[in-house]
Structure 1
């Protein structure tokens, strides 16, 4: 790699995750680029908005596959309400053996779709309905992003949409959500939809098991509204449900998305690192190798950021090529180790509320400051 002091224009790759609830990954990348260009207009900038399987997965893939087709669909949202969503069709040129369908759980059964949190009753049905729509369109492969779930139903709602009959002792369908899981006594999979011929890849950023102290209920249900009293009951419900299948509830990733990871394992899907898979789909390792600086970021940087999240995954890739990495985050909760520089929008704005109210302004300021610091070293 040429040294940073080379007279040629620098090659800057900007590949952030979304700042959830504040700015999309595309908006983050473009505003950092605007700030950078205001100081160093001669540099070559590439934008690569990223995702890890949660919100923004469809956007990230659409940005590099212009022939992708967003297909609108109406599904049952996590609270049962009709929800307008979409899935992404990637034509045969993308897949080795045919077309690919991309479905985001966040946009079909995600927590942001609820007006009020519903930890016991929220379900994953809409996600399953979107998968069915993609299958009926004839895709040969599925890519499923499962971040941002509203439910802790073990994937039961999704499985039911896929044709699994999950029945109580009277032979009736169980109630939706975690609340219905203790009633399940039998599963009839005779009418379940088959996996597409080229398989299903599930994108996740967690490896938690379904049950136990590190399981879905214990770790993730509090942010979905569960009380301390709810958690043991919800974990027991998941344990009861898991016993109906031949998949271990302790399998890595089974607890992702309220146990939707477990449900997808039941169906036969493979769970992989979302950030790594999307990085590969966007050809980021090669693009990072030939960059002079990588700028990445996320809404809040903390000790979990290096554990399968976008920023940590890309930093490790850049380390292998000795490419420096700059971090831009909405807030920084722990010391960013291994980064050449770091910018917090909350610090730039004076507080987190101001940063979240007008993130684009402070993203441009961050980009300009990074460019000034880079220029000072050049």
Structure 2
């Protein structure tokens, strides 16, 4: 224990002497949590819309007004023909074309149905999909409104209730995921640079000639970054509460329990990279190559259920996936420790395997 105490004193002294690490620990969570939740959103607004109104009736004007006032679309121009509207799209001045046919109002009154044409620029698949979906919902709502006005009989009105995120606020979904991203970067990046930094400085040789057991050495490297990660989690949760009013619907202690094992796992992962790297540049390259894959396949931006089957299998070996699931379940759904026990058992296995790997891969002799 005395040996571990001296190692921890050395590690904390090195951390507090390194002003860059201290700035990173304090400013990184503040910057990312204040900027990314506003920028990283799948909600599309100001979609440029070109309109062709061939009817010029009160119904067509009302429909156009409802589309523009929705807040999702911005009127690019009124076109007199489809070919003119297509030229606007080809110049990237419009994303969608809405064409209202002749006799739009009269046809609907007479036949209770009519068609409108929607053409979508699908180069940006995400904007195309969401834009057509938004416009489809607006048209469906307007259709129901016209039907209700033309019929005196009763009708069924569906009022959806969005559980766990009543206001459909995308930041409530993103902030917990960004917290996981922060902890992963800190836990992985700083630990991966630690041992290799001593290799470059030559101080690792002085430690290697001492009778310090390998597991004590790895634990001494792990604990400081675990402490920093828990501190960053606390700062991040405070920012989420103060700036976004976002607090866990469940018990915050569940997040800390899961984070305890997650940081151990990810710090062990960083130490493995450091053991096999000769320079800091090599360690950072390997880390960010792997960590980007972790984020892309972790459900941070893309739902895992919508991924191909092979990708869903790969995510089973991704620790980031399980922490993102737990953060969102506790923050938005109020899940209990029993509800996330499956993810907890898996992350404990990751922690054991990765840290055993860090101990085994550390060589005291070249």
Q: TM-score, normalised by structure 2?
A: 0.24
Larger Rg: 2
Bigger proportion of residues as helix: 2
